[in-house]
Chains A and B, each alone.
Chain A
């Protein structure tokens, strides 16, 4: 864990200093910064304009208390199921606002993703890979999408919205060998990323002198080291400078009082409003973290609280994306690392469960208003439409118009975007 956190320090805040540190830590893997094969790159350019909103429910949302309720059954729990805007489809009563917007989404109820350990399952569900490789990790879906879909855009390609107190739970892997230029911009607690405003003592003249010094160092560095690394550093620096000019992008006071009221003043609501603002301003990939669903203890109380935070802001965001016509180009994904056990434990909690769980997705490239897959009466088995983690990523990439067999490069090693799997063609638009 410690090693992993340290390795990815550059991904935790947008700091010019940590960009440099991250570059050094990245080591030999940075040789593949060009990443994409030439032919594939040309293809992917066509995909520009598409966006992704990944809402990651850390800790593992209970499928029973959300998308696959089983009231009045052995493991169903105390909550009722309520009808939704998809005729004949019910979700947990903990999602009344989302239920009214569900026709924009499709529910997958047949997830079977094997891994029930937080860290490795999170890596799987964030990278589309079962594990890392010797000496490194694969890049996250956000970093890959930022690279493939964000080319040519001026806004940050990949932004992560999370809480400062718990970023460690949300940050296991990100750009990896794609390098710091593909690392996310991280905004903590609904505020702008750190260090966007230079310290007061750095006036323009001093900044110019520092720039000059940096440029000299760069030139010397470039003569002695691999040019990819220097290019990555320069790219990161340029990104940082660009972001400093775009700091208003994160200024939620620009949003109307009415919208603030609709999203609510709670941190998750504000984060959803910020996500809307970022997507509206053409950020390619926004990852919005919500935690912590790891309810081994008092599962029902915790889901009542957490989905109470989640439901209205998420439904409002979905409604707004629809009203703005953005769902055609924005893939919305709501998932965590796994689901939760059918059996209620002795602490009235539910434990980790990857055998039969659920998620929702919608928007770009996805047919809305469907339920794909299903579980048995008690929710212990998938009986229809089983989907692996890799099937999911094949589906995500296809929905975005990207070929999951496209190569990205770790050094000279070509790698597909995910492991072997099949897209769920039935839900692809």
Chain B
């Protein structure tokens, strides 16, 4: 997953000063029949795309509440990449496909489909200049694609485990990928060679006694100034199969690669931080948790271990997206409810 690249451009000084997560409140709710896996706003902020467990993309119109199902994938949809402008966006799914959608009519339609990976694609991300699309998944290879002609530009191999998340550095010259064992690899332009690794192995848990496994950073995001890399997922626990893991996030100093802060959940909450965004003001990080007892929306300062604000969710969270206006967040819940929060 990647942060909402569109948001920074849309922010006004007023947003930067007045966005206040402690005043977060629900301003809109939608209900879909199937659980969501991933959500993202369109670049104009009029639509919300929700990848659902019926293999569709649910397209919600924020103004009218109208919902349309976009059919194209043959498995769960778990990633979107939306350029800052234009009428094209890309979705990725557990079917291993990347689909380019074009909105030149009332509903987006499939313009192109590439079987990009063997097995699941767990994440895709678009470069800041909108020219490149990165994808990664269970074949453990990162692939870079031209957004314009959809050709394969580069491949980056080296992960030994499934790739969970991807993010481009705001300067566009580095791509970061994280796998299920918490190995974070940094690939550098121009040839997208491995330049270094960061250690998030503390997010990987294996129980020898019951062979349960959980781990990896489920989402990655950079601060807009590029000085911090944040990865969210599981940061504690001992029995993955029994859901006894703790949600949270790790903040890395991008220059040194050192871990700067461990962002923890409240108490001994059991679950995973499935989704996370870094607000483009760089004032806070927001993440949704879901699991056995986890059902919260967390707001952290990147310098503080404890959250400065926590919102109780009515159902475990599954994913989160930031609206381009910087004022709103969407949170999609396990029970199919979609909540739009206003941050101020």
Contact = CB atoms under 8 A, between A and B. Distances in A.
Interface of A: 59, 72, 74, 78-80, 163, 165-166, 168-169, 291-292, 294-298, 301-302, 304-305, 344, 346-347, 349
B211 A291 contact: yes
A347 B138 CA distance: 20
Contacts, number: 74
A165 B209 contact: yes
B241 A292 contact: yes
A346 B211 contact: no
Contacts of A74: 34
List the 6 shortest-distance A-B pairs measured between CB atoms, nearest first. A346-B316, A78-B76, A165-B208, A346-B334, A78-B94, A297-B243
B209 A297 contact: no
B74 interface: yes
Nearest to B241: A294
Contacts of A165: 208-209
Given A165-B208, A297-B241, A349-B243, A80 B290 contact: no
Contact of B75 (A80, A169, A292, A301): A80
B35 A344 contact: yes
Given A346-B316, A347-B272, A347-B290, A72 B55 contact: yes
22 contacts: A59-B210, A72-B54, A78-B75, A79-B75, A80-B75, A80-B95, A166-B211, A294-B212, A297-B240, A297-B245, A298-B214, A301-B162, A301-B180, A302-B212, A304-B120, A304-B138, A305-B213, A344-B53, A346-B290, A346-B291, A346-B315, A347-B291
Interface in B26-60: 34-35, 53-55
Given A297-B245, A346-B315, A168 B292 contact: no
Nearest to B210: A292
Nearest to B295: A346
B242 interface: yes
B74 A80 contact: yes
Interface residues on B, range: 35 or more
A346 B180 CA distance: 20
B242 to A, nearest CB: 6
A363 B50 CA distance: 47
A364 to B, nearest CB: 30
Q: Would you call the interface of chain B mostly helix, strand, loop, or mixed?
A: loop
A169 B243 contact: no
Contact of B241 (A79, A296, A304, A344): A296
Interface string B152-169: 000000000010000000
Contacts of B316: 346-347
B271 interface: yes
A295 B213 CA distance: 10
A207 B52 CA distance: 69
A299 to B, nearest CB: 10
Interface of A is mostly: loop
B290 A297 contact: no
Contacts of A297: 212, 214, 240-243, 245, 291
A344 B334 CA distance: 9
Residue among B34, B211, B213, B243 with the highest chain A CB neighbour number at 10 A: B211
Contacts of B76: 78
Contacts of B271: 346-347
A134 to B, nearest CB: 30
Nearest to A163: B211
Contacts of B241: 59, 292, 294-297, 302
A166 B209 contact: yes
Interface in B285-338: 290-292, 295, 315-316, 334
**Most chain B beta-carbon neighbours within 10 Å: one of A72, A80, A166, A347:** A347
A72 B73 CA distance: 11
Given A294-B212, A346-B271, 14 more contacts: A59-B210, A59-B241, A78-B53, A291-B211, A297-B242, A298-B240, A301-B213, A302-B212, A344-B53, A346-B290, A346-B315, A347-B271, A347-B291, A349-B243
A302 B290 contact: no
A305 B240 CA distance: 14
Interface in B1-35: 34-35
Contacts of B291: 297, 346-347
Contacts of B240: 297-298
A347 B120 CA distance: 19
A163 B209 CA distance: 9
A302 B315 CA distance: 23
Contacts of B162: 301
A328 B37 CA distance: 47
A284 B291 CA distance: 45
Nearest to B212: A292
A371 B53 CA distance: 28
Contacts of A305: 213
A349 B190 CA distance: 41
A347 B246 CA distance: 12
A169 B208 CA distance: 12
B161 to A, nearest CB: 10
B210 A169 contact: yes
A166 B75 contact: no
A244 B272 CA distance: 50
A166 B334 contact: no
B115 to A, nearest CB: 13
